[in-house]
């Protein structure tokens, strides 16, 4: 999947974080749409879910469709988490970048970096 997307787009594979001993609950990457704008995606290692951050530019739609197709073909049965569920706070969970009671379902299933950009 990553190789196929990398053949079509500039791609920043964030797997190195996991290989270097980092602990994230998802596999993450960025597809660069312009020199300064990327679509980010996360595929959970904990359950059959994925999420994307759409930057809100016209070039995002074809790339978002391709990323979704690649994820769903590579991980059959995986589904996106809708924002109304993903943004729910999980009580009694603390993470490195947020205090107890501030972590969302998105953060718990994907990554603390989910907070770095606004999800689309």
Which strands, in side-by-side order, build the sheet including 49-53? 10-13, 26-32, 38-44, 49-53, 79-80
Greatest alpha-carbon pair distance for the chain in Å reads: 42
pLDDT digits (tens, 9 = 90+) for 82-98: 989 999 999 988 887 78
5: its two tokens: 């997307």
Question: How far apart are alpha carbons 85 and 40 in whole angstroms?
Answer: 19
As a whole number, mean pLDDT of residues 107-111 equals 87
pLDDT digits (tens, 9 = 90+) for 39-60: 889 999 999 999 998 878 888 8
Segment holding 98, helix H or strand E: none
Share of the chain above pLDDT 70, in %: 87
Confidence bin at 119 (pLDDT 50/70/90)? very low
- How many angstroms separate the Cα of 110 from the Cα of each of 20, 34, 52, 68, 114? 18, 24, 10, 16, 7
For the chain, the structural domain boundaries read 2-116
| 86: Cβ contacts below 8 Å, ≥ 6 apart | 51, 104, 105, 106, 109, 119
How much is the pTM? 0.81
3-state helix, strand, coil in the chain (%, to 5): 35, 25, 40
**φ, ψ of residue 73 in degrees (nearest 5):** -75, -40
């Amino acid at each position: 999947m990553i190789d196929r997307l990398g053949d079509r787009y500039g791609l920043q594979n964030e797997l190195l974080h996991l290989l270097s001993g980092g602990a994230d609950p998802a596999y993450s990457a960025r597809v660069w749409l312009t020199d300064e704008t990327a679509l980010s995606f996360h595929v959970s290692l904990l359950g059959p879910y994925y999420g994307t951050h759409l930057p809100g530019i016209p070039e995002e739609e074809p790339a978002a469709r391709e990323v979704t197709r690649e994820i769903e073909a590579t991980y059959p049965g995986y589904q996106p988490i809708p924002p109304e569920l993903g943004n729910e706070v999980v009580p009694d969970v603390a993470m490195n970048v947020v205090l107890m009671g501030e972590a969302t379902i998105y953060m718990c299933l994907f990554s603390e970096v989910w907070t770095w950009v606004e999800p689309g």
